[in-house]
Amino acid sequence: MRYMVCRILLLACLLAAGARAEQAIQLDSEQVAALAIEVYLTGRVEQQLSDPVMATVTLSDQHQRMLSLPVSGTLQQLRVLPGTRVVAGTGLGTIVSREALELQREYLAARDQQERNRASKQRDQSLYKGGTIPAKRWQQTLAEWGQGEALLTELSSQLLALGFNDDDLERLQKRRELSSELLLRSPIDGVVLQSSTSPGKSFSAGEALFHIGDAGYLWLELKAPQALARQAGVGDKIYLDSKVIATVLQVGAAVDPASQSVLLTAELAPSAEGRNNASLMPGQSLLVQLALQARSGLWLPRDSIVNIAGVSQVFVQRENSYELRQVQLLPALDGWVALSGLGEGEAVVYSGSAALKGIVMGLGEAGNDAE
């Protein structure tokens, strides 16, 4: 076989002078087979997919919560473990907190004071309208009422952050029963991703106790090569197994020093119920492709381009001849886009182009400086 190939190349070299003049090489079917020549029919670029890129499934920032408390205390009981699915209001654990007890006292005192402020407001409003008290007295009464409302709102918010709901506040006001033991409730539907405390462990005000995320709303994070990131834009589609699974939300504005990549964030496409594909889970790694914007030209395989004397050229098949054609190119991630020099549907050599280049250059052997 090696002898046959050498004989074919030698024969082709004898025709090289004519090939240079006409920029075409004549080969019979036996020679074509021996040189393993294969062609690609050019087509207009409609949608180009990038090389596979590693992506990680993450939780949407808008659908996860870090649960912390405005008071310090001790976790008494843990009711859920990481991985547990919960709905809003599910009990996560119980705590004991003297600060929570004092907060309830302050709330009841503020509620009582505001009832007195309400009575003063109603009384002074009537007296002011009747001309019995001056405007300054009425303004002072209104100011006290406003301050009381602000304090009551603040204390109510802190109790709600402790896991109280509106019914709990109403019950506290009516029964006036204080408790240092409180039930922590999940603020959203989702999955308990992390619990940073354990029974008997103390915690400080503002310390994160539970991390909860809704796994129905997921993102993809892609560490994209810089060349890919420069071509990506908001709204570009992400493909997995030839199907669209996500849309780019943001292209990072900085390069990661360690990996020299750029972070792309994409939102997974929702299902008919408005939630993401349940088969994907946070932390899962995927190989995906990014759909790049269409370019005005014809796509060519990477190996089809040969460089002769600094000029980018391709071999175009015409029956049994191979014509050398100069092309104007733009680089693509997995090939080239020819802006000129070719027509749609022409047969361009991609396998065996190095051998044809050797023939044209009179080398008698394959050599390839393809860009």
- Which of the 8 DSSP states describes residue 288? E
- Rounded to the nearest 10 degrees, how much is the dihedral formed by the CA atoms of 190, 192, 194, 195? 130
Instruction: Please answer whether residues 345 and 338 qualify as being in contact, where contact means their C-beta atoms are separated by less than 8 angstroms.
Output: no
Instruction: Please answer whether residues 215 and 194 qualify as being in contact, where contact means their C-beta atoms are separated by less than 8 angstroms.
Output: no
Look at residue 165 in the predicted model and tell me its pLDDT: 82
CA distance 65 to 18: 75
Give the containing element (helix H, strand E) for 65.
Answer: strand 64-68
Look at residue 155 in the predicted model and tell me its pLDDT: 93
Query: Minimal CA–CA distance to 290: which of 337, 245, 258, 338?
Result: 245
Query: 335-360, pLDDT tens digit by residue?
Result: 787 888 898 889 999 898 888 888 88
Look at residue 228 in the predicted model and tell me its pLDDT: 85
Look at residue 275 in the predicted model and tell me its pLDDT: 52
DSSP state letters, 299-356: EEEGGG-EEETTEEEEEEEETTEEEEEE-EEEEETTEEEEEES--TT-EEEEESHHHH
Look at residue 26 in the predicted model and tell me its pLDDT: 86
| CA angle in degrees (0–180, nearest 5) for 269-62-93 | 120
The pLDDT tens digits along the chain (371 residues) read 444 444 444 444 434 433 443 468 888 888 888 888 898 888 776 656 778 899 999 888 888 888 888 899 999 999 998 888 899 889 999 999 999 999 999 999 999 999 999 999 999 999 989 888 999 999 999 999 999 999 999 999 988 888 788 888 888 888 988 888 888 888 888 889 888 888 999 999 989 999 998 877 889 999 999 988 888 888 888 988 878 889 999 999 999 999 999 999 999 876 544 455 557 878 889 999 888 765 667 888 888 999 988 899 999 998 878 999 999 887 665 678 788 889 888 999 989 888 888 888 875 443 344 44
Query: First vs last Cα of the chain: how many Å apart?
Result: 30
| CA angle in degrees (0–180, nearest 5) for 210-216-222 | 90
Q: How far is CA 128 from the centre of its chain?
A: 62
Look at residue 319 in the predicted model and tell me its pLDDT: 80
Packing angle, helices 2-14 and 353-360, rounded to 10: 40
Instruction: Please answer whether residues 49 and 239 qualify as being in contact, where contact means their C-beta atoms are separated by less than 8 angstroms.
Output: yes
Look at residue 115 in the predicted model and tell me its pLDDT: 93
Query: Minimal CA–CA distance to 61: which of 195, 196, 193, 214?
Result: 214
